[in-house]
Every structure is written in C-alpha cells, then in structure tokens.
Structure 1
Amino acid sequence: MSNLQINTTQNVNLNYKIVSIGERIVAFFIDAFILYLYAVLVDFIGDAIGYIYEDKWTQRGLVALIFLPAMFYSLIMHSIFNGRTVGKMLLKMRVVKFDGSPVHWSNYLVRWMLRLVDIWIFIGSIGLLTILFSEKRQRLGDAAAGTVVISTKNKTKVSHTILEEVEEAYQPKFTNVILLTDKDVRLIKETYRIARKSNDFKTMTALRVKVDSILQTKSELYDIQYLDTVLKDYNYYTQKL
C-alpha cells in the first residue's frame, strides 16, 4: 500500500495507507453481492405483485420503483455512512478528501456519476487502469471528486493528537473553549493523559484550576469530567468552523 499524509483542519498530520486495488475489488464484489440479493428479493416481490395486479405495466412499474434505491446504492451508502459502503466497512476502508477537508455530498455525487465510465460502460477497465497508474490509487471518479480510498486499520491513534472522538449528537457545554489554541489543547491533553495514567490527582486538580481560570467556566464538574468535557467541546467547535 502507498502512504497518504492528511493535514486536518486542526493542523494535525495523520498518516493513512491507501488501499490496494485488490481490496477495492473485493469490496466492490461484496457490494455487488448485496445488490444481487436485493434484486432476488425484488423479483419475489414482483411475482407477488403479479398476483394482485393483472396489468403487466403496473407490475413492471412497481417493481422498477422498488428496485430504484439499488441504482443509488453507492451514493446513498457513502453519504449516510461517512464514505463507506458495506464492502468498505467489512474491509475497514473509507473515502476521504486527500486535502484533509470534509467530504461533501457533492463529492460522493461526482464519484457515483463517473462510475458509469469507470465501471459500467467499459466493464471496469477504465477504473482499473486509472487506479493502477495513479499515484494515489484513484479511479477517474476519485480524481474528479478530489477523494481517495484509505485504510482505517492502522491509522494514527486519536489519543496521539489533540483530536477527540466526538459523536454527531454530542452537545457541548462550554462555548468559550474556542479561546484556547491548538498549542494550549495539545499541552492540556498531554498533561491530562499522563496525570490520569499515573493517578496524579494533584496535577489533575492544578491543571483543572489553570484551565478554569482561562475559560472562567466556574463549573462544578469533577476534574476528570471537566477536562474531558473541555477537550471534547474544543474539538466539537473547531471541527464545525
């Protein structure tokens, strides 16, 4: 695999591995098998509809309508599951922007539209050739959308950066955390991580007091809860900017 270094919006460099063409093919066939099963299901439903409606045109129209989501499978899955289809989930890979910016739905749309050229019209030959001869292992759709498919198996651990895992439904508590800088947060997180690992509660309390004096939050949360919340809130707001 080739390596790809992505600079995040918080100026943190993360090293990823670009997936091989073999892995992409396996993921494609997994998704194709799922679509095949869906087509079989639709066929059974079509037979059932045939017993209800004698009009063949009505039957075909309803079957086509039920099968329609399969036509947009790749676009829907990538948009909903953050750059992943079932095949990509199983093989631990996802689509990202190679410049580190968030992937927009329009990028997924471009990739999906160019599947017509990459995969369907030329029976996958264009997609295979562009992946083989591209430095970032991009098919035509990836190149046009500015995306690349990376492996999430051995990516840089979040704990080694200022980043924090923040759920989409997360509700921030302290709005003024944006007064902190990346340098401040990196120092806070490193001190917090070492103090918590060694059960150094004295350092933990001193750190909490220092952060609280900067942010003027006057929170009643315990030290660990407070510092953890500050780190998550900072990530929440800076990722939204």
Structure 2
Amino acid sequence: MTNSKYQSNTGARILATIIDYILIMCFTIIYVYQFGEPNEEGSYGVSGIKAMVPILFWFFYLPFCEWKTGTTLGHWVVGLKIISENGAELTLGQSLKRRIFDLVDISLCFGLVAFIVVISTEKRQRIGDIVAKTLVIKK
C-alpha cells in the first residue's frame, strides 16, 4: 500500500464520521423521546435497563459492523474501509479499541485532536487507529 492511499482520505474520513455520529445521535434522540420519561426540567431521560439500548446501538453500529464488514454506513458512503495494519482480518478487539478512543479523538475539541493526529502521522492514523493497529483506506 502506498502513502498516497492514506494521504487522500482525510476529508472522506471527516464526512464518514459526521454521517456515522449523526445517525447515532438521531437514533438516541428518537429512542429517548419514545421510551424515556419526562423529568422536572421538561426534557426526557432513560434510566436502568432502558439506558443500555443506545449503548448497544453504538456497539452494533460501530465496532460490530466494522469487525464484520470492515466499514460503517458513513465509511461505505465515502468509499473507505478499515483494515488491520498487518493485513490480517480485523478483529472485534481492534474495532472496540478504535471506537473507545473516539472519546479522545472525536469528543475533545469536536474532532480537532483526530484531525491533527491524522494529518501528522505517516499512515494517516488517529489515536484509536494507532492503538488498535488499524488503517482506514480507500476501497
């Protein structure tokens, strides 16, 4: 694989992430309004076992789909695929590691951390990719 494969997909990765997290946020908002209870502040919330559903959706949508298909809807739309750095099959553990680091990569400063790390690394990896030993490439 050549470096150009990594260098040309930063914009596509940003768009893929936006698509994926808008989908997750929409699901969560609709779910909370449909199955949540109103609180004192006039908003809705879920608690107990009901609070697990958005977490399970996140798990099946991101780590599980990446593991099974090498992509998510956002990555598929823009023509990207997640692969293992060493060429082996992507594992569920790798995908979980990638996604747990979304908290650092994407949540801090609205993705600025991920953007800076991606444009600064030779293989265009964000922190989650470095830890999980994965690459995001064009299909």
Q: TM-score range by the shorter chain?
A: 0.7 to 0.9
Which of 111, 129, 132 is equivalent to 1:142?
129
Please give the alpha-carbon distance, in whole angstroms, between the structure 2 residues aligned to 1:70 and 1:22. 26
Q: What does 1:1-241 correspond to in 2, within 5 Å?
A: 4-5=1-2, 17-18=5-6, 19-46=8-35, 50=37, 60-72=47-59, 73-81=61-69, 83-152=70-139
Please give the alpha-carbon distance, in whole angstroms, between the structure 1 residues aligned to 2:79 and 2:56. 24
Residues 129 and 66 (structure 1), Cα distance of their counterparts in 2 relative to 1, 3 Å cut:
same
The aligned amino acid for 1:45 is Q
**Secondary structure of 2:124's partner?**
coil
Aligned residue number for residue 174 of structure 1: none
Contact 1:16 1:151 in 2 (8 A): no
Please give the alpha-carbon distance, in whole angstroms, between the structure 2 residues aligned to 1:132 and 1:91. 18
Tell me how far 1:68 sits from its aligned partner.
2.1
Tell me how far 1:59 sits from its aligned partner.
5.3
Residues 102 and 80 (structure 1), Cα distance of their counterparts in 2 relative to 1, 3 Å cut:
closer
Query: How many correspondences in the alignment?
Result: 131
Residue deviations 1:191-211 (CA, integer Å, cap 9, x gap)? xxxxxxxxxxxxxxxxxxxxx
Please give the alpha-carbon distance, in whole angstroms, between the structure 2 residues aligned to 1:59 and 1:126. 31
Contact 1:118 1:140 in 2 (8 A): yes
Tell me how far 1:90 sits from its aligned partner.
1.1
Tell me how far 1:123 sits from its aligned partner.
2.9
Please give the alpha-carbon distance, in whole angstroms, between the structure 1 residues aligned to 2:128 and 2:63. 12
What are the ranges of 5 or more consecutive residues in structure 2 without an aligned counterpart?
A: 39-44
The aligned amino acid for 1:118 is D
Greater relative contact order (Cα 8 A, min sep 6): structure 1 or 2?
2
Please give the alpha-carbon distance, in whole angstroms, between the structure 1 residues aligned to 2:98 and 2:29. 27
Please give the alpha-carbon distance, in whole angstroms, between the structure 1 residues aligned to 2:56 and 2:78. 23
Residue deviations 1:161-203 (CA, integer Å, cap 9, x gap)? xxxxxxxxxxxxxxxxxxxxxxxxxxxxxxxxxxxxxxxxxxx
**Secondary structure of 2:5's partner?**
strand
Residues 96 and 62 (structure 1), Cα distance of their counterparts in 2 relative to 1, 3 Å cut:
same
Residue deviations 1:29-57 (CA, integer Å, cap 9, x gap)? 1112211220232033225xx59xxxxxx
**Secondary structure of 1:135's partner?**
coil
Residues 68 and 137 (structure 1), Cα distance of their counterparts in 2 relative to 1, 3 Å cut:
same
**Secondary structure of 1:148's partner?**
strand
Residues 17 and 112 (structure 1), Cα distance of their counterparts in 2 relative to 1, 3 Å cut:
same
Tell me how far 1:100 sits from its aligned partner.
1.7
The aligned amino acid for 2:85 is F
The aligned amino acid for 1:77 is C
Aligned residue number for residue 42 of structure 2: none
> Runs of at least 4 residues of structure 1 off by over 4 A?
none
- State, as a whole percentage, how many aligned pairs show the same letter: 26
CA RMSD of aligned residues (A): 2.5
Choose 1 or 2 for highest CA Rg. Answer: 1
